[in-house]
Amino acid sequence: MKPAEGKLGVMCVGLGAVTTTFMTGVLMARKGLAKPVGSMTQYDKIRVGCGKDKKYLRYNEIVPIAELKDIVFAAWDVYPANAYESAINAEVLKEKDIEPVADELREIVPMKAAFDKNYAARLDGDNVKDCKTRWEMVEALREDIRRFKAESGADRIVVLWAASTEVYVPVSEEVHYHLADLEAAMKADDRANIAPSMCYAYAALSEGAPFIMGAPNTTVDIPAMWELAEKTKMPIAGKDFKTGQTLVKSGFAPIIGTRCLGLSGWFSTNILGNRDGLVLDEPANFRTKEVSKLSTLESILVPEQQPDLYTDYFHKVRINYYPPRNDNKEGWDNIDIFGWMGYPMQIKINFLCRDSILAAPLCLDLVLLSDVAARAGRYGTQRFLSFFLKSPMHDYTEDEVPVNHLFQQYVMLKNAIREMGGYEADEEID
């Protein structure tokens, strides 16, 4: 594997609550003023070897991972506020945790975004590129990446989508299955089938940068993008950061399945008041998130495998915009299960979480591990990164079933790091 030499440029789409919390935390951590709690790459240890040769190592002892001091940031956003102003406005972090890195945050001024209001009707920022076609968007974004890389002195770039959820775009075989068709649609300015996020992904991959989709958008989970990732030999990962309720679901559903208890229904509802909540208050945008959240149980509690236990269970997800909570999201889960002789029981989970506090370490891990994958020569969909994502990318054209089970995803993560570090992948997914 190529070493992690030089600077790693991290270009974030969106400079809102998640991104500024991520940036501030990295800048504070490398000054020794905060701890990157929740980051697997900074804290987790993996067993390598067996028997008397067994040892537990941190990720950076197995594979060369970029150090926090080597990260340089850039961003695009529809609002012109710099990272310091955005961090203050987001009201996620206290001022005392922002001020020590205020000068560095002020230097991160967002580039104009490639934006289409039809994809996020609740946003009205004017820091937007004037592009006549989707192809012009792609070319403008490619120029941004080249310019930032040159000006920052970055040796490598990773592009991370941490912006709002776009309206749902159904996959079209005529547009999204072949790279040539996708490019033709971009040049023809097919705004119905080409989301702005696709332009970011195309630009990143074309400039030799891994791309990570942190929202449930239809972006890199289409065959045309897989073809581009293979052509450019770049990793892609997605989709949708697994932060609060879905993290709980992907970890708790295995308890029900492992214990062979039955499921009658699972009702999930959330209240959220930040910019993401505002955008998701639009039904067309919520539909994108709903598809992502509903997919979690399907591959964990499978009716075909246990028809007595999981046939016709009811699964409902709701998100409600509630401004007083801002970034402090609250998720309620009501789970109706049944046990011996069919007798019903209930489980209630109330998770009072902080959306950006949970998302920030995911951003760090996804960026660092995508960079590792690129240097290891891995390209295309990085299934081992599904541990960090709500709706894991998979090849639905071949009827592949995504792995949503948290602990199976953890095995995939550990095995990939073992392999990239030259060790044997010695765990199996049962």
Give the span between the Cα atoms of 139 and 147, in whole angstroms: 12
Residues 151 and 46 both lie in one domain: yes
Residues 42 and 103 both lie in one domain: yes
Is the residue at 426 inside a domain? no
Residues 44 and 141 both lie in one domain: yes
pLDDT, position 167: 93
Q: Which residues of 280-292 are buried (b: 16+ CB within 10 A; e: fewer)?
A: bbbeebbebbbbb
Give the span between the Cα atoms of 206 and 74, in whole angstroms: 18
For the domain that residue 61 is a member of, what is the CATH number? Answer: 3.40.50.720
Q: Which residues of 67-76 are buried (b: 16+ CB within 10 A; e: fewer)?
A: ebebbbbbbb
pLDDT, position 38: 97
Is the residue at 34 inside a domain? yes
Residues 416 and 328 both lie in one domain: no
Residues 234 and 304 both lie in one domain: no
Is the residue at 328 inside a domain? yes
Query: Torsion-angle region of residue 331: left (phi > 0), alpha (psi -120 to 50) or beta?
Result: beta
pLDDT, position 105: 98
Residues 255 and 193 both lie in one domain: no
- Torsional sign, CA 83, 323, 364, 121: negative
State which residues form the domain around 65: 7-241+356-420
β-strand pairing of 314-321 with 262-272: parallel
CB 406 within 8 A of CB 248: no
For the domain that residue 276 is a member of, what is the CATH number? Answer: 3.30.360.10
Give the span between the Cα atoms of 414 and 5, in whole angstroms: 23
Among 354, 377, 397, identify where a domain stops: 354
Give the span between the Cα atoms of 76 and 12, in whole angstroms: 6
Among 354, 379, 412, identify where a domain stops: 354
Phi, psi of 262 (to 5 degrees): -90, 160
- Torsional sign, CA 33, 34, 35, 39: negative
Residues 142 and 95 both lie in one domain: yes
pLDDT, position 292: 63
Residues 151 and 274 both lie in one domain: no
Residues 267 and 178 both lie in one domain: no
pLDDT, position 244: 84
Among 338, 354, 370, identify where a domain stops: 354
In order along its 430 residues, the chain shows pLDDT tens digits of 899 999 999 999 999 999 999 999 999 999 999 999 999 999 999 999 999 999 999 999 999 999 999 999 999 999 999 999 999 999 999 999 999 999 999 999 999 999 999 999 888 899 999 999 999 999 999 999 999 999 999 999 999 999 999 999 999 999 999 999 999 999 999 999 999 999 999 999 999 999 999 999 999 999 999 999 999 999 999 999 999 888 999 999 999 999 999 999 999 998 888 777 777 778 777 776 677 666 788 889 999 999 999 998 999 988 888 899 888 889 999 999 999 999 999 999 999 999 999 999 999 999 999 999 999 999 999 999 999 999 999 999 999 999 999 999 999 999 999 999 999 999 998 7
Domain count, the chain: 2
pTM check: above 0.75: yes
What letter does residue 354 receive in the DSSP assignment? Answer: -
Residues 220 and 288 both lie in one domain: no
Angle 366-367-372 from CA coordinates, rounded to 5°: 95
pLDDT, position 282: 80
Residues 290 and 371 both lie in one domain: no
pLDDT, position 430: 79
Give the residue carrying structure tokens 């979690």. 296
pLDDT, position 362: 98
Enter the tokens of residue 79.
């609002």
CA contacts within 13 A on the Cβ side of 65: 21
Is the residue at 337 inside a domain? yes
Is the residue at 1 inside a domain? no
Is the residue at 303 inside a domain? yes
